[in-house]
A and B are shown apart, each in its own frame.
Chain A
Amino acid sequence: MIEVALRKALPGFTLDVAWAAGDEVVTLFGPSGAGKSLTLQCLAGLTRPDAGRVVVNGRVFDDAAAGVHLPPQARHLGYVFQGYALFPHLTVAENVAFGLRGLPGGERRRRTTEVLAQLGLGDLAGRFPRDLSGGQQQRVALGRAIAPDPAVLLLDEPLSALDAPLRRQLREELRALVVGLRRTVVLVTHDLGEAYQLGDRLVLYEAGRIVQTGPKAEVLGRPASATVARLIGLRNVVRGTVVKTAPDRIEIAWRGHTVETVNSPTAPFQAAPGTSVAFVVRPEHVRLIRKDRVSPDPGHHMNLLRGEIVDSIDHGTSWTLFFRIAAPGPPSQGAYDLEIEVPHLVYEILDIGRDREWEVSMHRGALQVLAGV
């Protein structure tokens, strides 16, 4: 259990966050410079917050109002630093045993051996960090952090120093290990795949603040705002004007058309006509309408839009098309209104390479209104 409320002002940047987590993996996700690593430093006692409280399993680590600030030595946390910060003058075994100084010699050796075995580092016990690969160094850093059996494990970009194939391979390994700890694990990452695969709960940071927090599926499935949608890498986050909200649908004026989307039966979106509203359309949910078939059935194809493809990118197995709606005024996203994702085969069958004028449809369920700013 961890409860965090922090305020820390630095020149040109203010961290102001509050979140809580149980014995689960909580991922602090956001762009670089959003305050994620600073949060970890505050949790570890390496930086003293200006205000706020940090409580771990009922122990008060920080309470600025009461003048409480435990030093890092008294917190018994595990911390895996970005870049690992292994002691270069100590062997793998000495690194892992570094936090076990309070134990009697025999117990210390037993625990060190146990952790080395758990991480598959038994053969490397006598090596020095400079002789290890990136993946092995990462495991030593992890072993050193978990050896003293910390109440909370903090991981600062634990995989970012590795190259992509190894990173993906180690993700699963790391996930299994941290889940096995049955402790609160706080993970910092700016990689959404990593955040999603490793975490249970997401805390989204931007510019020193939290923009959304919740179970990962909820945050990614229902982004609360356009800011969140952009943070989690959603494309086609655009803005229109509310025409009408009904219990079952929302009508939005956008680029000279009125588009329609379903309203949530449980938490219906309500806004006065004329209100500016953001919505998102996943690129793979925009469909091109075949010209060799009979005229489109309005009951099936919803939200019809006519326009042209102004640019395209070949990804090998798929194409991204940049579609501009034939309507006066500036397009929603610079030179275009929508990104459309089509499989390579479809691109060839429809001869999109030569034919640039298209009508597209967006199913009303594919449009997602973002309630927040």
Chain B
Amino acid sequence: MLQSALMPEAATSALWLSVRVSVLATLADALVGIPLAYVLAKRRFWGRQVLDVAVMLPLVLPPTVTGYYLIVLLGRRGWLGGPLYALTGWSLPFTWYAAVVASAVMALPLLVRPARAAIESVNPDLERAAFVLGRSEWRTALEVTLPLARRGIVAGLVLAFARALGEFGATLMLAGNIPGRTTTVPLAIYTAVSTGEADEARVLVLVLTTLSCAVVLLASRLGSRL
């Protein structure tokens, strides 16, 4: 449908891949990031600061550096990737899953930061009240803390999705730029510009801009309803 006169096939495939990668990366961040934000906000444990810094690192490091670390960790000869390859013969880099992992890692701090701040700002007396009324810490988190922190969590998820949508450097390092397999929209734009495909670049830039605007708009709509 979109793939008519407006968009060449490569651009369409890049768009669908980007959406798929960003949605999955955001879901993965929700699964990891919300519990992480809770633990960082509530618990005092050994290594907490190390964890805190590690989560925030992708925000300050150049994406290529983060990508390099991901290769060291998950590459065919990586700390985790090596044993995985030895065991299954499969490795992550240069698959579209690698794009998901790279986007998720890059976007994680954008979820954890506002989510953690929102959890920390929930009046601790509300949690104490839930304890006194018989709720375990787990139930209290589900019934009191997280529902009250929902604005910050949703804001974080939107930011994370937007960041995943625009991810370039780390994705390029870990997933490469294989047309039809790992070429997301930002990579496709880069390729189009560097090979002189000005029309394709223009269309993709327009699409990504529209999509990002739509996400931000949706987020503010959602935010005022919560």
**Does A associate with B in a complex?**
yes
A contact set with B: CB distance below 8 Å: 44-46, 71-73, 75-79, 81-83, 85, 87-89, 98-99, 101-102, 144, 148
Contact B135 A85 (CB under 8 A): no
Which chain B residues lie closer than 8 Å to A85 at the CB level? 123, 125-126, 128-129
Task: Give B47 Cβ to nearest chain A Cβ, in Å.
Answer: 24
Question: Do A79 and B129 touch across chains, with their CB atoms under 8 A apart?
Answer: yes
7 contacts between A and B (CB under 8 A): A72-B128, A72-B131, A72-B132, A73-B135, A85-B129, A88-B148, A99-B132
Complex Cα gap A73–B127 (Å): 12
Task: Given A87-B144, A88-B148, A89-B147, decide whether A46 and B128 contact each other with a Cβ distance below 8 A.
Answer: yes
Report, as a range, how many residues of chain B touch the other chain.
Answer: 10 to 19
Contact B128 A99 (CB under 8 A): no
- Cα of A45 to Cα of B131 in the assembled complex, Å: 9
Please state if A44 and B132 are interface contacts (CB–CB under 8 Å): yes
**A47 closest partner in B (C-beta):** B128
Q: Is the CB of A81 within 8 A of B125?
A: yes
Say yes or no: A75 contacts B132, CB within 8 Å.
yes
Residue of B nearest to A150 (CB): B132
Instruction: Find residues 136-179 in chain B having any chain A CB closer than 8 Å to their own CB.
Output: 136, 144, 147-148
Contact indicator B128/A87 (Cβ below 8 Å): no
B130 at the interface (CB under 8 A from A): yes
A148 touches B134 (CB 8 A): yes
A305→B121 CA distance, assembly (Å)? 61
3 closest Cβ pairs, A-B complex: A99-B133, A85-B125, A72-B131
Q: Is the CB of A81 within 8 A of B136?
A: no
Which of B's residues lie within 8 Å of A, judged by CB?
A: 123, 125-126, 128-136, 144, 147-148
Contact of A46 with B133 in the complex, beta carbons under 8 Å:
no
CB-CB under 8 A from B129, the residues of chain A are 79, 81, 85, 87, 144
Report which of A45, A71, A98 forms a contact with B133, defined as CB distance below 8 A: A98
Partner of A81, one of B128, B134, B148: B128
Contact B136 A73 (CB under 8 A): yes
Residues of A within 8 A of B134 (CB): 73, 76, 99, 101-102, 148
Can you add 8 more A-B contacts, CB < 8 Å, to A71-B131, A85-B128?
Answer: A44-B132, A46-B132, A75-B132, A78-B132, A81-B129, A87-B129, A99-B133, A101-B135
Closest A residue to B122 by CB, please name it. Answer: A88
Given A81-B125, A89-B147, A98 and B132 contact (CB-CB distance below 8 Å): no
B residues near A44, Cβ cutoff 8 Å:
128, 132
Assembly CA distance A102 to B134 (angstroms): 9
B213 → chain A, closest Cβ, in Å? 30
Nearest residue (CB) in B for A78 is B132
Which among B126, B132, B136 has the highest number of chain A CB atoms within 10 Å? B132
Q: Is the CB of A79 within 8 A of B147?
A: no
Q: Which residue of chain A lies nearest to B125 when distances are taken between CB atoms in the complex?
A: A85
Residues from chain A with Cβ under 8 Å of B123 in the complex: 85
Q: Nearest chain A CB to B146's CB is how many angstroms away?
A: 10
Q: How far is the CA of A99 from the CA of B139 in the complex (A)?
A: 12
The interface residues of chain B lying within 8 Å CB-to-CB of A78 are: 132
Contacts of B144 in A (CB 8 A): 87
| Cα–Cα distance between A252 and B123 once the two chains are bound (Å) | 55
In the complex, are the beta carbons of A89 and B131 less than 8 A apart?
Answer: no
Q: For the complex, what is the distance from the CA of A46 to the CA of B133, rounded to whole Å? A: 12
A82 to B125, CA, bound (A): 9
**A73-B136, A81-B125, A85-B125 known; A46 vs B148 contact (CB < 8 Å):** no
CB distance from A277 to the nearest CB of B (A): 45
A102: which B residues are within 8 A, CB to CB? 134
Q: What's the Cα separation between A44 and B130 when bound, in Å?
A: 12
B108 to chain A, nearest CB (A): 27
Chain B residues, Cβ within 8 Å of A88: 148
User: CA A75 – CA B133 in complex, angstroms?
Assistant: 9
C-alpha spacing A99/B148, complex, angstroms? 18
Once the chains are docked, how many angstroms separate the CA of A107 from the CA of B123? 30
Expressed in whole angstroms, the minimum distance between the Cβ of A2 and any Cβ of chain B is 16
Q: In whole angstroms, how far apart are the Cα atoms of A85 and B135 in the complex?
A: 15
Contacts of B130 in A (CB 8 A): 87, 98
Contact B131 A73 (CB under 8 A): yes
Interchain CB contact (< 8 A) of B126 among A71, A87, A148 = A87
CB-defined contacts of A76 to chain B, threshold 8 Å: 134
Q: How far is the CA of A77 from the CA of B128 in the complex (A)?
A: 12
Q: Closest Cβ of chain A: how far from B131's Cβ, in Å?
A: 4
Q: Determine how close the nearest CB of chain B comes to the CB of A34; give it in whole angstroms.
A: 20
Chain A residues with CB below 8 A from B128, complex form: 44, 46, 72, 79, 81, 85
User: Inside 8 A of B126's CB, which chain A residues have their CB?
Assistant: 85, 87
A-chain residues with CB within 8 Å of residue B132 when the two chains form the complex:
44-46, 72-73, 75, 77-79, 99
